[in-house]
Amino acid sequence: MRGIVALKVKPGSKRTFANANFALLRIVTASMWKAQQGIAGPPVSDATHSGYALAALRSLVFTPAGLKGVSCTPGDLKSAGLSYRAGADQSTLGTLVGTTTRECAGADGIRLTAIELVRYLAHLRRGRIVDPRDLARMDRSLLGWDEASNLGEGPDDDDLPERPLSRGVFWHEGHQTRTGGIHLQTCAMTFPDGTQASMIANSPLADAGPCDVLLESWDAAR
């Protein structure tokens, strides 16, 4: 955050993606949670903020969605899914992405399966995590959704197939790239008929992203 402030960013200036909002949210969430719970633990710091933020998410988001044991590190290093670079074959050694809690509950680290992503979306859309009025505002202003969702206009538009989309389709896509081109890509998507879909790819997808794949599948199935 010190680095971002040093840039002297001004309101209305050109946007540059730097994960600053995630970093700030992680700190604010940890501070508010510690204060609200009256926890007499160590101060919120670089070393402790992840634990406080994860506790808040578990209580306010994951438990209401029926998701238990959500963490930022794999429960079993031997069975955790590995990620691969483009062009990997059977002789390629995979890499385990995300094994520390430093960036937990921010831009990196929360570990959910594809099924858990769908379960989270289902509970979110049914108003069990946020108030339905807040959910409607999320949809109207694309809060938490990629800006190309629901026929919106945003920086993700160039990555989408050139075809008309149905209104009421919202999604959020994420990806991680590590040294050597190791990839992990995710997409969580909700449709107007109440269908929820998710996809996790542990290597780069040729000329597409996981949300592109889900949209094309939805179009083909209608």
Decide: residue 143, CB within 10 A, 0-12 exposed, 13-18 middle, 19+ buried.
exposed
For residues 159 and 185, give the distance between their C-alpha atoms in angstroms, rounded to a whole number. 14
Classified as helix, coil or strand, 151 is helix
Give the model's pLDDT for residue 163. 47
Q: How confident is the model at residue 215 (pLDDT cuts 50, 70, 90)?
A: confident
CA distances from 147 to 76, 100, 127, 154, 157 (A): 35, 30, 22, 5, 8
Q: Is the pLDDT of residue 25 over 80?
A: yes
Q: Is the pLDDT of residue 33 over 90?
A: yes
Which residue has better confidence, 3 or 29?
Answer: 29
Q: How confident is the model at residue 133 (pLDDT cuts 50, 70, 90)?
A: very high
Q: How confident is the model at residue 204 (pLDDT cuts 50, 70, 90)?
A: confident
Average of per-residue pLDDT across 30-45 = 92
For residues 219 and 222, give the distance between their C-alpha atoms in angstroms, rounded to a whole number. 6
Give the model's pLDDT for residue 36. 93
Give the model's pLDDT for residue 67. 93
Average pLDDT in the chain = 83
Q: Residue 175: beta bridge partners? A: 185
Give the model's pLDDT for residue 4. 67
For residues 18 and 36, give the distance between their C-alpha atoms in angstroms, rounded to a whole number. 29
Q: Which tens digit of pLDDT belongs to each residue from 139-192?
A: 988 888 988 888 775 544 445 444 455 578 999 988 777 767 778 889 999 998
Range scoring the smallest mean pLDDT among 38-42, 67-71, 72-76, 115-119: 72-76
Q: Is the pLDDT of residue 17 over 80?
A: no
What are the sequence ranges of the domains in the chain?
112-222
Range picked from 2-11, 21-30, 191-200 for highest mean pLDDT = 191-200
